[in-house]
Amino acid sequence: MRARSRPCAIAWLAPSLVGALALSSCGKKGPPLPPLKTVPEAASALRARQIGDRIILTLEPPAKLTDGTLLSPSASLDIHVTLKSPPPDSPRTVLSQPAATWSIPAHQWDRYRRADRLEIPLPLERIAAALPAESVTLLGKPLSFVAEVVEGQGHSAPTPVTTIAACAAPPPPSGQSARIVPDGVLITWGGGSDQPGRVNVYRRDAGAPLPLDPAGEAGASETSYHDGRVPENKPVEYVLRRGTAAGCESIDGDVLAVTWIDIFPPAQPQGLAAVEEEGTIRLFWRPNQESDLRGYRVYRSALRNEGDAPEWMMLTPDAIVTTSFTDAQPAPGVTYIYAVTAVDDAEPVNESPYSEPAGAILEAEP
């Protein structure tokens, strides 16, 4: 009996794949495809900033080729710049006719590494020297940059175009200082309404690279910034730069090193009252409002002679969270005075001053 041929089972496939697999499963062959070209992976988007008289280019370079193998030391990061106006939208426009190109070999990348990124400083003077003579004056001109990774004949996909207009950077803020306050760090500097541009406040862990973006900013006429998000018991550093509306920043100001430690006690408890109540003395006071309040300590002193200084004995070794306390074992006929303090969550705890004292006496039975 003659064998029946089986139909090609491709009906379930996506339409875009049906044609290719049908040729294979039905015994037909198409033209051979060229091998995929192995090139470096693309770098992250390029970012350009001006700090002082330097353009700082920032990006994350790749470590591999598109086939997963590592880049060789012969690879390079090529940075291209053009002065076209208006600035080009397509990186291919910059690549086709760059005004200047800088090439950084992979074995030198560590010189520019800041954490997980590269920061490449290009002084305006160096950029101008690489450009045509008529472009020596860069102020106000748009500088458009594109970066690509090159290994051998392989080029990565280029980064998008990033454009910055060179400008005259302002001086950094003067007279900078930082001090801890109960709810954070207060940074101050000199200045006034005639100062150019805002002040950008950068915060970093001690010794770490500065982040790309500031922790906050203050207006041109302001002379202080309050950082209420500083971590506790961790050394940090602040760096101030003055920035302009055109996007330029000054060089770094002084490095301000601070470790925020809670050394601020709660407020003195208010409204303490003491009353005799069925053989006990009951205390009441108004609650404190601190967000880091742990509780209260209650103290008692027996008043022996009028004018004697109190000899306080703590009645609550563990701070209590309520705003009342009952002294269940007062001695009859003895005049007692009481005081309350508030303590916080710091280690060691900060304790407030004693409240105004309140006195009471448990009458002796006849």
Phi-psi region of 197 (alpha: psi -120 to 50; beta: other; left: phi over 0): left
Sign of the CA dihedral with 90 first, then 91, 92, and 93 last = positive
Residue 60 in this model has a pLDDT that exceeds 50:
yes
- Chain mean position to CA 103: 31
Domains of the chain, earliest start first = 47-165 (2.60.40.10), 177-259 (2.60.40.10), 273-361 (2.60.40.10)
Q: Are 82 and 94 in contact (CB under 8 A)?
A: yes
pLDDT of residue 115: 85
- At residue 111, φ and ψ (nearest 5 deg) are -65, -25
Tokens of 118: 């590269």
pLDDT of residue 194: 63
For residue range 92-142, list pLDDT tens digits in order.
Answer: 999 999 999 999 999 999 999 998 899 999 999 999 888 876 556 788 889
* Whole-angstrom distance, CA of residue 8 vs CA of residue 288: 81
Q: Are 110 and 118 in contact (CB under 8 A)?
A: no
Mean pLDDT for the chain overall: 87
Q: Looking at residues 231-243, what average pLDDT do you find?
A: 95
Direct distance between the N- and C-terminal alpha carbons of the chain, in angstroms, rounded to an integer: 127
pLDDT of residue 137: 78
For residue range 73-92, list pLDDT tens digits in order.
Answer: 999 999 999 998 899 999 99
pLDDT class of 18 with cuts at 50, 70, 90: very low
Q: Looking at residues 44-65, what average pLDDT do you find?
A: 95
pLDDT class of 35 with cuts at 50, 70, 90: low
pLDDT class of 33 with cuts at 50, 70, 90: low
pLDDT of residue 48: 96
For residue range 283-305, list pLDDT tens digits in order.
Answer: 999 999 998 999 999 999 998 77
* Whole-angstrom distance, CA of residue 292 vs CA of residue 300: 25
Q: Looking at residues 140-146, what average pLDDT do you find?
A: 93
pLDDT of residue 242: 94
Tokens of 91: 């990186």
Q: Comparing C-alpha atoms, which of 154, 151, 124 is closest to residue 140?
A: 124
- At residue 16, φ and ψ (nearest 5 deg) are -70, -20
pLDDT class of 347 with cuts at 50, 70, 90: confident
Residue 15 in this model has a pLDDT that exceeds 80:
no
pLDDT class of 192 with cuts at 50, 70, 90: low
Q: Looking at residues 252-277, what average pLDDT do you find?
A: 95
The more confidently predicted of residues 265 and 10 is 265
Residue 359 in this model has a pLDDT that exceeds 60:
yes
Contacts of 125 (CB under 8 A, 6+ apart): 53
Residue 29 in this model has a pLDDT that exceeds 80:
no
pLDDT of residue 252: 95
Distances (CA, A) of 213 to 49, 117, 164, 209, 276: 11, 14, 17, 12, 62
pLDDT of residue 30: 62
Pairing of strands 47-51, 248-249: parallel
Residue 52 in this model has a pLDDT that exceeds 80:
yes
Q: Looking at residues 162-175, what average pLDDT do you find?
A: 92
